[in-house]
Structure 1
């Protein structure tokens, strides 16, 4: 039985790659932060976001547009507005059936909505992460890589805490916490797929 899977991850731990492979093996949609950003753009709240790749969001266009007919002036700031839109988008995706959703507090949003999901946190040691980040940004500058890793993780921690009241990365908040540096991507994929197919 396939289930909805949420993946939270440290920067450079390979969460995106692992999540995409899980979705491919299960034959279900994979929603990453770029798709969510496109959803926000479609809402009209984030008009300055530049589209960098082609996205197929046609099936949800009417939903996004009706959702965001509310004036953004209603919100205290743009982050609040974007957060609310992303939450609605995530719930909409989840209601459509099994899928893999990357980041953006999806685990807590689904819990609050009473939607069952397998919630995963992927981490790795700094060495493994630095190697991946180096490849991602095309730099071997150790100081630059360390600063970027710290900045990205701090941002994710702050965002998660602000909107869930919980600690990002705390094993108590997830069904699986996997060390991709020790286990390797392939084994992480197998473990997540097995959890998603397990009978209740």
Structure 2
């Protein structure tokens, strides 16, 4: 039985909630922002600076460029160091035992490390996602919600492609792709748990 699970997700599709519930159902660890904090600690950057930048290449670029007064080459090296540290942490977490890891190219990182995992992609239609994002942002402004959804998804796509060379969201990269808008969170959790428990 394999219980190392990676979850990639569209913004607003409920990947964090589903992943956390899967971990609770299986009685295993759930890792999300813990990875960013450990990466910040190991790389020497202020945790608050990169807390929410784990998959946001465009925003991380601008922030790191601000704090790096060095050349563009050194700036690029800084980004690579952060990614390399994060990669090592993800591998270490998976080696310690069963867990659910959210985002951050964990599926491909573990694949390259020879660590078997159940890889899941959570998506949903714009309407279901917009409702969730509205709750997260505390706004009903449709334009603002659409812009945030597009920005987050584009950033995750760019990050995944940059560090894996593969297409984010492509069903061929995952064992399960689930529509949380149609299936609902409960069924998504159930399907992932059953897949983890019964996977050969």
d(CA) in 2 for partners of 1:138, 1:192: 29
Q: Is the 8 A contact 2:43 2:82 kept in 1?
A: no
2:98 equivalent in structure 1: 98
Matches within 5 A, 1:46-65: 46-47=45-46, 49=48
1:38 equivalent in structure 2: 37
3-state SS of 1:140 partner? coil
Query: So what's the TM-score if we normalise by structure 1?
Result: 0.85
Q: Deviation at 1:74?
A: 7.6
Unmatched segments (≥5 aa) in structure 2: 52-72
Aligned residues: 179
Give the ranges of 4+ consecutive aligned residues of structure 1 lying more than 6 Å apart after TM superposition. Answer: none
Over aligned residue pairs, what C-alpha RMSD do you find?
A: 1.8
Deviations 1:92-114 (A, max 9, x none): 00000110000000000011011
d(CA) in 2 for partners of 1:167, 1:100: 21
Q: Is the 8 A contact 2:2 2:118 kept in 1?
A: no
Deviations 1:13-52 (A, max 9, x none): 00000000000000000001x1111111211432262598
Unmatched segments (≥5 aa) in structure 1: 53-72
2:8 equivalent in structure 1: 8
2:126 equivalent in structure 1: 126
d(CA) in 1 for partners of 2:158, 2:49: 25
Higher mean C-alpha displacement, 35-44 vs 2-11: 35-44
